[in-house]
């Protein structure tokens, strides 16, 4: 359902109040579909969070990227879904995104927090309790952890880590939102939820689905306690 909500008034601490189906996409993940049409299908299907992750051969840059990002933000606003920008502080600030997501190896997280100020959400990818501690000390709002399973979407992904480290991080920091990522599909998502994540982040299993809304519904059904039948 399309609805308009002023997310600028929304504080980051309620960003992960309910189980999140966090869709990541860039123009290079859209296959034969028109990227904005794919994003709208996903929004209609009920994704709860969106991250613009523009990577790989043929990725947009410069003005074309800024224009695309602004269009993505406009669509996300219509559906009341927060938009995050991957790795690009300037772009996140230009379009006044709700958040930015960075890899710990990509940028200095403390520096990014200074640049974006206190009100923009900051997601940081981590792989251990030690890295989680560093990210939280720098002002991370939530943590991304993965790849949980094997993935072909990220060329420099580390080996699949399963859910063991997620469980350790959640044991140490029970109130910090952790999002699992990497190779997550409806059929393997349940063990990620059971590790205590606040959400699952997905690229190919949603972007490549014939029936995007149906696939998102399958992800929703994978949430323990939300299963029907």
Binding site for Mg(2+): what residues are annotated? Answer: 87, 106
Q: Does 123 bind ligand TZP (CB under 6 A)?
A: no
124 or 206: CB nearest Mg ion: 124
Query: With DSSP H G I counted as helix, E B as strand and the rest as coil, what are the percentages for the chain, rounded to 5?
Result: 40, 15, 45
Binder of ligand TZP out of 141, 153, 198, 222 (CB under 6 A): 153
Binding positions = 51-55, 86-87, 106, 125, 151-154, 183, 203-204
Q: Does 204 bind ligand TZP (CB under 6 A)?
A: yes
End-to-end CA, the chain:
24
Catalytic site residue 205? no
Backbone angles phi, psi at 21, to 5 degrees: -105, 100
Measure the CA–CA gap between 201 and 126, rounded to whole angstroms: 14
Find which of Mg ion, ligand TZP, none residue 147 binds, CB within 5 to 8 Å per kind. ligand TZP
CA 175 to chain centre: 18
Q: Does 115 bind ligand TZP (CB under 6 A)?
A: no
Strand intervals (E) in 20-103? 20-25, 49-52, 83-86, 99-103
The CA dihedral of 33, 39, 43, 47, to the nearest 10 degrees, is 100
Binder of Mg ion out of 71, 78, 87, 190 (CB under 5 A): 87
Catalytic site residue 53? yes
Q: Compute the least distance from the CB of residue 87 to Mg ion, in Å.
A: 5
The residues binding Mg ion (CB under 5 A) are 87, 103, 106
Active site residues: 53, 125, 154
């Amino acid at each position: 359902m399309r609805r308009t909500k002023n997310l600028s008034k929304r504080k980051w601490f309620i960003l992960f109040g309910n189980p999140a189906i966090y869709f990541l996409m860039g123009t290079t993940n859209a296959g034969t579909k028109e990227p904005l049409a794919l994003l709208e299908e996903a929004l209609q299907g009920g994704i709860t969070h969106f991250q613009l992750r523009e990577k790989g051969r043929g990725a947009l840059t410069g003005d074309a990227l800024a224009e695309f990002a602004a269009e993505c933000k406009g669509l996300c606003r219509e559906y009341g879904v927060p938009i995050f920008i991957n790795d690009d502080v300037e772009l996140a600030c230009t379009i006044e995104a709700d958040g930015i997501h960075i890899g710990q190896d990509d940028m200095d997280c403390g520096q990014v927090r200074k640049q974006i100020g206190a009100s923009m959400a900051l997601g940081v990818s981590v792989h251990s309790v030690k890295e989680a501690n560093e990210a939280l000390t720098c002002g991370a709002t939530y943590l991304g952890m993965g790849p949980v399973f094997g993935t072909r979407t990220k060329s420099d992904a580390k080996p699949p880590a399963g859910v063991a480290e997620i469980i350790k991080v959640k044991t140490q920091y029970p109130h910090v939102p952790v999002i699992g990522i990497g190779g997550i599909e409806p059929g393997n998502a349940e063990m990620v939820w059971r590790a205590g994540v606040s959400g699952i982040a997905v690229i190919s299993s949603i972007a490549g689905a014939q029936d995007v809304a149906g696939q998102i519904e399958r992800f929703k059904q994978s949430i323990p306690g939300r299963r029907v039948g």
